[in-house]
Amino acid sequence: MTAPTVDRGGDVAGAGDALAAEELVEELGGPSPLWRWVGTPVVLAGVCAALYVYVQGQDLDRIEEAALNAPMIRQRVLEHLELTAVSTFFVIVIAVPLGMLVTRPATRRLAPAVLAVANVGQSIPSIGILVLLAVVVGIGFEQAITALVLYAVLPVLRNTMVGLDQVDRSLIEAGRGMGMTARQVLLRIELPLAVPVMLAGIRTALVINVGTAALATFIGAGGLGWIINQGNIHDRTPVLVTGSVLTAVVALALDWIAGIVEDLLRPKGT
Amino acid sequence: MTDASRSPEPMIRLESLTKRYPGQAVPAVDGITLDIPKGEIVVLVGPSGCGKTTVLKMINRLIEPTSGRVLIGGEDVTRADADELRRHIGYVIQQIGLFPHMTVAENVGMVPKLLRWEKQRIAARVDELLELVGLDPAEYRDRYPKELSGGQRQRVGVARALGADPPVMLMDEPFGAIDPITRDRLQNEFLRIQADVRKTIVFVTHDIDEAIKMGDRIAILREQSHIAQYDTPEAILTAPADGFVEDFIGAGAALKRLNLTRVREVPLDHWPAASVHEDRARLRRLLAESEQGSLLLLDEEDRPLRWVTARDLAREREPLHRVGLPATAVVEPHATLHDALDEMVTSTVGCAIVVDRRGRYQGVVDLGTVTSAIDEMRSDVRRRDRAVAEAEAAPGDAVGEVG
Residues in contact with B284: Cβ distance below 8 Å, sequence separation at least 6, in sequence order: B310, B313
The one-letter amino acid code at B374 reads I
Residues in contact with B252: Cβ distance below 8 Å, sequence separation at least 6, in sequence order: none
Contact A249, A42 (CB under 8 A): no
Let me know if residue A8 belongs to a domain: no
User: For residue A15, what is the nearest residue in chain B, using CA coordinates?
Assistant: B150
Contact at CB, B100 and A174, closer than 8 angstroms: no
Let me know if residue A74 belongs to a domain: yes
- Using alpha carbons, select from B376, B384, B380 the residue that is nearest to residue B241: B384
Q: State the burial class of residue B283 (Cβ atoms within 10 Å of its Cβ: 0-12, 13-18, 19+).
A: buried
CATH number, domain of A174, equals 1.10.3720.10
Contact at CB, A6 and B83, closer than 8 angstroms: no
Taking each helix axis from N to C end, the angle separating A237-265 and A224-233, rounded to the nearest 10 degrees, works out to 160
Let me know if residue A14 belongs to a domain: no
Let me know if residue A10 belongs to a domain: no
Of A178, A192, A268, which is closest to B91 when you measure between CB atoms?
A178
Contact at CB, A269 and B96, closer than 8 angstroms: no
Contact at CB, A179 and B152, closer than 8 angstroms: no
Let me know if residue A148 belongs to a domain: yes
**B350 interface with A at CB cutoff 8 Å:** no
| Residues A233-245 pLDDT 10s | 999 999 999 999 9
Task: Kindly indicate the confidence band of residue B174, based on its pLDDT and cuts at 50, 70 and 90.
Answer: very high
Model ipTM?
0.75
CA distances (Å), origin A124, targets A118, A152, A206: 10, 11, 18
Over 60: is that where the pLDDT of B388 sits?
yes
Show residues of chain B in contact with A268, CB under 8 Å: 101, 144
Show residues of chain A in contact with B107, CB under 8 Å: none
Count: domains in chain A: 1
- Using alpha carbons, select from B157, B155, B154 the residue that is nearest to residue B136: B155
Let me know if residue A18 belongs to a domain: no
Q: How far is CA B99 from the centre of its chain?
A: 26
Which of B96, B110, B142, B162 should one mutate to test binding to chain A, selecting the residue with the greatest count of A CBs within 10 A?
B110
**B163 interface with A at CB cutoff 8 Å:** yes
Print the domain residue range for A192: 34-265
**pLDDT score of B8:** 60
Contact at CB, B179 and A11, closer than 8 angstroms: yes
| Residues B37-76 pLDDT 10s | 999 999 999 998 899 999 999 999 999 999 999 999 989 9
- Using alpha carbons, select from A30, A249, A170 the residue that is nearest to residue B145: A170
In the 8-state DSSP scheme, what is residue A108? Answer: G
Contact at CB, B100 and A14, closer than 8 angstroms: no
Q: Which residue has the higher pLDDT, B145 or B347?
A: B145
Let me know if residue A260 belongs to a domain: yes
> What would the mean pLDDT of B149-176 be, rounded to a whole number?
93
Which of A50-59, A164-173, B340-349, B393-402 has the least mean pLDDT?
A: B393-402
Let me know if residue A1 belongs to a domain: no
- Using alpha carbons, select from B305, B237, B310 the residue that is nearest to residue B277: B305
